[in-house]
Amino acid sequence: MDRPVEPLAMTFHQHAWRAALSAAVLVVSAPLLVAASEHWHDGRPVLLATGLGWLAVTVLMPFLALKGTRSGVVRFTASATLWGAGTVLAGAFPTATVGPVPFPHLAHAVSLAGLAYIAFQQLRHARVAGDDQPLLVEASLFATVMAALSWDVFGRTGHVGDGWWQASASLVVLIASFVAASAVVLAVEHGALRLACFGLGLAAVATEVTAVTAAHSPRAADVAVLLALVGGLLLLVFQPRGGFVRHGGVAVTQAARRLRLAVTLPGAAMLLDIAVNTVDPRVDGLLSAYYGAAIVAAAVRQAATARAIDRTRQTLSFQAQHDPLTGLQNRTALADALVEPDRTQSLVILEVSGLDDVTDVLGVAVGEDVLRAAAANLREHVTPLDGTTYRVRHDEFAVLLPGSPDESVRHLPHVLAAVSAAPLQVPGAGRFPVAAVAGVARVDPGARAAGDATLPLVHADLALRDARSNPGLLGWSVYSGAVAAQHARRLLVRERLASAVAEGCIDVHFQPIVDFTTGRVVKFEALARWDDRELGRVSPVEFVAVAEESNLVVALGEHVLRRAVSTAHAAGVFDAEVRLAVNVSVVQLQSPGFAEVVREILSGYRISAHLLTLELTESVFLDSDSPAERVVTELARLGCQIAIDDFGTGYSAFGYLDRLPVHVLKIDRSLTQSLTGEGNGRSVVTAVVDLANNLGLTVVVEGVETDEEAAICRSMRAGLGQGWLYSAAVTSDRIISELEREYPVSPEAVR
């Protein structure tokens, strides 16, 4: 049964109960102390000695059971001392007589109320905990102890024969029945608890018998006391080692609660008993023995509970600071280490990439093996450098190295290599390369004084981001003013962009795409343009990247699509059977309802779908069977053309070309630039153009800047070109003139 773990603090009614109890104890004990001081000379040495013995046992017990936590020891010593002191006092004033006072009735009332309260609480907890049967044992134990104490109280006060006695005896009977019944239930369900439960039941029933017979047949009562003693011993000997407390978050709070009751109530009952004892003593050897056994049982119980709590706490605190998969320390531990750094250190955050491939293909278990291997390699490398390794997220490690970032970056190539080596150590995973990028930040001993101890984490994250987006950085970046400035710029761009998109301030320009052989414009590519009041003109390369980081790209893309279509429509582009191409980001494609938006826009302007081309990058197709792929298929079924943008820069994994509906390949301008250079550029482009032609795809060569490039493209039989040779992107009012224009077709290819 799942219950939220409660904090260890007491609830309101526990507070109230404690307050009431303390008040009662005060009311009872104050006059007693006065009375007791008058009767000190009556004290019996033997009983005093017995009391001292109990004191020693109860004080020592928690020490024996609780090795470790100091606060635990202190708490248990305190409560045990209370008990022990109670016993001593009980022994010290057995013969004191203070005459008839209404006091015993009060004692009765308080004692019975306490008893009922405990039984109720424990029953309730046992019910709430559901499957936690051991709680019933706890309940039973407390009920037994309390029944014994209250019976003792009745016996000593001589309340036999009148209405009080009848009432209290019935209550004792009731509780003892409950104890006996729960013991039977437990014994049936948990074989291992059988003897302990039998002992518990026996003690309860015998206590009950004693309570009923004490007044009229003392011999029967004595036998019953003996039996109760045997039952108590059985319980003591056979109860499970370590107590009945389960390990785990819920159990520890329950245990703590029971412990609180155990500390408070018996101690209070004991004081009560002292009170009554002082009023009207009745000494009985067997009774004292049983009484003592009950105290020892409860003290042992208490100590066992305490030890279980202690162990659970240790386990929990270990778990709280460690990552179960790799055994490394976790983010919490790292945050702790950053709170009070004792020297200058470098915090390195390492992000592992490529793990998804391993997990997707070989399964989660192999992916975890690779992570474990990476963790082991890291630790092996970092420990000799006097550094510490942490796992902070699924695919992120952190390393704290001594010294400033300038000093520690020289270790970074080895640290990164340690991660990359991991797949080679896992059978079958070697063919999937795994890489790491790192962000480094400085950790200063003065960090705490400066305020935020998590600042290095933030800085390292920013540096990591910088390393990720700049492949030229060889895999790591150190946090600096420049990184901070970049981050600040990104935030500013994001903020301004959000309002620009909301207010419709993103404009669209149109770049003609020209047929190489006829020189006519056959298509326009819509390109987003943004002039911001504060930031000036921002390149789409920058703001599209920012938009993609923040989901803003969905609104941005839809805005551009609507504006491009409506502007082109108004300018007569579609009437001239000239097409429109719009860039679509992967994030946009994955957003729900994208295909629906396209359909709605097309039907709104009554435009034939084949006139709209959606330009996507290859990354969309890397993950086969992804939702994005399904959307692409749906768009193609609508009739839209699908273009692969920037072809030749990314993975150039041709596999998707026959799997998916693709109509256009746009050759990236970096390849175009290589056409006239020294290297293999020309052969590569030739191969791509041939491939496209053979597959029946249209080729668009991007970034055509010179006649020479255009001529080469034409000689390769590439169909369409786009670039500054023809025109840069134009504003909407120049679309019409572009439509009418016929670009000169240069003569033959160079060579």
Could you list the residues that contact ligand C2E (CB under 6 A)? 511, 527-528, 539-541, 544, 557, 560, 583-585, 615, 645-646, 669, 703-705, 722-724, 729
The Cα–Cα gap between 491 and 487 comes to: 6
Question: Among 132, 310, 369, 615, which residue sits at the site for Ca ion (rule: CB under 5 A)?
Answer: 615
Identify which of residues 132 and 738 has a Cβ nearer to Ca ion in the complex: 738
Residues 437-461 as b/e (b if ≥16 CB within 10 A, e otherwise) read: bbbbbbbeeebeeeeebebbbebbb
Near Ca ion by CB under 5 A, which window of 299-307, 357-365, 609-617, 708-716?
609-617
Nearest C-alpha neighbor of 239 from the set 307, 309, 300: 300
The Cα–Cα gap between 550 and 501 comes to: 13
Q: How far is CA 186 from the centre of its chain?
A: 36
Do 489 and 542 contact (CB within 8 A), yes or no? no
Nearest distance in Å: CB 509, ligand C2E = 7
Identify which of residues 558 and 702 has a Cβ nearer to Ca ion in the complex: 702
Nearest C-alpha neighbor of 59 from the set 303, 379, 398: 303
Near Ca ion by CB under 5 A, which window of 240-248, 352-360, 372-380, 580-588?
580-588
Do 134 and 244 contact (CB within 8 A), yes or no? yes
> For Ca ion, how many residues bind (rule: CB under 5 A)?
5
Identify which of residues 455 and 614 has a Cβ nearer to ligand C2E in the complex: 614
Nearest distance in Å: CB 672, Ca ion = 10
Nearest distance in Å: CB 613, Ca ion = 10
Near Ca ion by CB under 5 A, which window of 294-302, 544-552, 576-584, 717-725?
576-584
User: Going by C-beta distance under 8 Å and a sequence separation of 6 or more, which residues neighbour residue 678?
Assistant: none
Identify which of residues 366 and 712 has a Cβ nearer to ligand C2E in the complex: 712
Identify which of residues 25 and 544 has a Cβ nearer to ligand C2E in the complex: 544
Nearest distance in Å: CB 553, Ca ion = 14
* Binding partner selected for residue 527 from ligand C2E, Ca ion, none, CB under the kind-specific 5 to 8 Å limit: ligand C2E
The Cα–Cα gap between 687 and 685 comes to: 5
Near Ca ion by CB under 5 A, which window of 166-174, 187-195, 283-291, 583-591?
583-591
Angstrom distances, CA of residue 685 to CA of 86, 233, 717:
97, 92, 11
The Cα–Cα gap between 640 and 407 comes to: 56
* Binding partner selected for residue 724 from Ca ion, ligand C2E, none, CB under the kind-specific 5 to 8 Å limit: ligand C2E
Nearest distance in Å: CB 667, Ca ion = 9
Nearest distance in Å: CB 441, ligand C2E = 31
Nearest distance in Å: CB 609, ligand C2E = 19
Identify which of residues 369 and 668 has a Cβ nearer to Ca ion in the complex: 668
Residues 477-516 as b/e (b if ≥16 CB within 10 A, e otherwise) read: bbbbeebeebbeebeebeebbbebbeeeebbbbbbbbbbb
Nearest distance in Å: CB 542, ligand C2E = 9
Identify which of residues 88 and 538 has a Cβ nearer to Ca ion in the complex: 538
Identify which of residues 323 and 646 has a Cβ nearer to Ca ion in the complex: 646
Backbone angles phi, psi at 152, to 5 degrees: -55, -45
Identify which of residues 449 and 541 has a Cβ nearer to ligand C2E in the complex: 541
* Binding partner selected for residue 267 from Ca ion, ligand C2E, none, CB under the kind-specific 5 to 8 Å limit: none
Identify which of residues 436 and 667 has a Cβ nearer to ligand C2E in the complex: 667
The Cα–Cα gap between 696 and 699 comes to: 9
Near Ca ion by CB under 5 A, which window of 146-154, 285-293, 456-464, 577-585?
577-585
Identify which of residues 293 and 581 has a Cβ nearer to ligand C2E in the complex: 581
* Binding partner selected for residue 729 from ligand C2E, Ca ion, none, CB under the kind-specific 5 to 8 Å limit: ligand C2E
Nearest distance in Å: CB 590, ligand C2E = 13
The answer to whether the Cα torsion of 129, 135, 140, 142 is positive or negative is negative
User: What does the per-residue mask of binding to Ca ion show for 666-705, with x meaning CB under 5 A?
Assistant: ------------------------------------x---
Angstrom distances, CA of residue 350 to CA of 128, 260, 322, 343, 386:
45, 46, 18, 22, 18
Residue 618 engages Ca ion in binding (rule: CB under 5 A): no
Residue 583 engages Ca ion in binding (rule: CB under 5 A): yes
Say whether 537 sits in a helix, a strand or coil. Answer: strand
* Binding partner selected for residue 705 from ligand C2E, Ca ion, none, CB under the kind-specific 5 to 8 Å limit: ligand C2E
Q: What's 742's DSSP letter?
A: B
Nearest distance in Å: CB 666, ligand C2E = 7
| Region for residue 511 given its phi and psi (left: phi exceeds 0; alpha: psi -120 to 50; beta: otherwise) | beta
The Cα–Cα gap between 393 and 468 comes to: 17
Nearest distance in Å: CB 748, ligand C2E = 22
Say whether 252 sits in a helix, a strand or coil. Answer: helix
Q: Dump the DSSP string for 51-111.
A: HHHHHHHHHHHHHHH--S-HHHHHHHHHHHHHHHHHHHHHHH-TT------SHHHHHHHHH
Identify which of residues 387 and 703 has a Cβ nearer to ligand C2E in the complex: 703
Residues 224-243 as b/e (b if ≥16 CB within 10 A, e otherwise) read: bbebbbebbbbbeebbeeeb
* Binding partner selected for residue 403 from ligand C2E, Ca ion, none, CB under the kind-specific 5 to 8 Å limit: none
The Cα–Cα gap between 487 and 528 comes to: 23
* Binding partner selected for residue 540 from Ca ion, ligand C2E, none, CB under the kind-specific 5 to 8 Å limit: ligand C2E
Identify which of residues 212 and 527 has a Cβ nearer to Ca ion in the complex: 527
Nearest distance in Å: CB 426, ligand C2E = 38
CA-CA-CA-CA dihedral for 641, 645, 650, 652, to nearest 10: 40
Identify which of residues 198 and 530 has a Cβ nearer to ligand C2E in the complex: 530
Site for Ca ion in 12-41 (CB under 5 A): none
End-to-end CA distance of the chain: 81
Nearest distance in Å: CB 544, ligand C2E = 4
- Cα R_g (the chain), whole angstroms: 42
Backbone angles phi, psi at 626, to 5 degrees: -80, 160
The Cα–Cα gap between 47 and 62 comes to: 24
Question: Among 645, 671, 692, 718, which residue sits at the site for Ca ion (rule: CB under 5 A)?
Answer: 645
Nearest distance in Å: CB 633, Ca ion = 21
Say whether 443 sits in a helix, a strand or coil. Answer: strand
Contacts with Ca ion by CB under 5 A lie at: 583, 615, 645-646, 702
